[in-house]
Structure 1
Amino acid sequence: MYYTLVIYDIPDDNLRNKVSDACKRFGLEALQRSAYGGYISSGIRKELISVLERLMKRNEGNVKIFVICKYDVKRLIDIGEPVFEKKGKEFLV
């Protein structure tokens, strides 16, 4: 299983919330305000991509999806503290 990283830049609040909800629904966790990540199967990732493509069709904004091997995930360099806090399973921004 590979790590899937989804980052997005979407100006419309409603669409941005739908993309966020889709990421959560498919098992990804919030990393930053517009970044989600997690280990999901290739089948689940394909479904997520399909949903995100439908959401973004004819809408302004951009979604990038990175598929990262475990070796490279371990090499992550994390600088600073998150600007949101986790409360239960929800994040406050």
Structure 2
Amino acid sequence: MVKVIQDERKAGQPTLVLYDVQDDKRRTKVMNACKDYGLARWQYSAYQGKLTHAARRELETRLEKALGDSGGLIAILQLEQWQIDDATIIFQVPEDD
């Protein structure tokens, strides 16, 4: 069960976390950390949601620890709401054969 660390009632900034982590165990830790902070999976290695400044700093520390010394990259992007509202997102559900 996911334990959400950030209080969902607190306003936060739109945040996007992108990652490419080679080690399976460390990648799972990154994924779990994102879920624990209430971020939703946007695609396989991308999570999005709203984080307060304090929650973002905590998540950064946790993700840095999760990556450790293994190969990979984690990007935490703080966005403005207008960027989300103005974004073009193309989504297609494949037809059943």
TM-score normalised by structure 2 residue count? 0.79
Secondary structure of 2:63's counterpart equals helix
Amino acid at match of 2:16: L
Measured against aligned partners, the alpha-carbon deviations of 1:38-82 in whole angstroms (never above 9, x if no partner) come to: 011111111000001111121111000100011111011111336
RMSD between superposed Cα atoms in Å: 1.5
- Superposed structure 1 runs of 4+ greater than 3 Å apart: none
Matched, 1:41 2:52: yes
Name the residue aligned to 1:51.
62
Name the residue aligned to 1:17.
28
TM-score normalised by structure 1 residue count? 0.83
Between the aligned residues of both structures, percent identity stands at 34
Structure 2: 5+ residue stretches without partners: 1-11
Counting matched residue pairs gives 83
Distance 1:3 1:81 in 2: 24
Considering only CA atoms, is the larger Rg found in Structure 1 or Structure 2?
2
Structure 1: 5+ residue stretches without partners: 84-93
Distance 1:17 1:82 in 2: 26
Give yes or no for contact 1:8–1:62 (8 Å, CA) kept in 2: yes
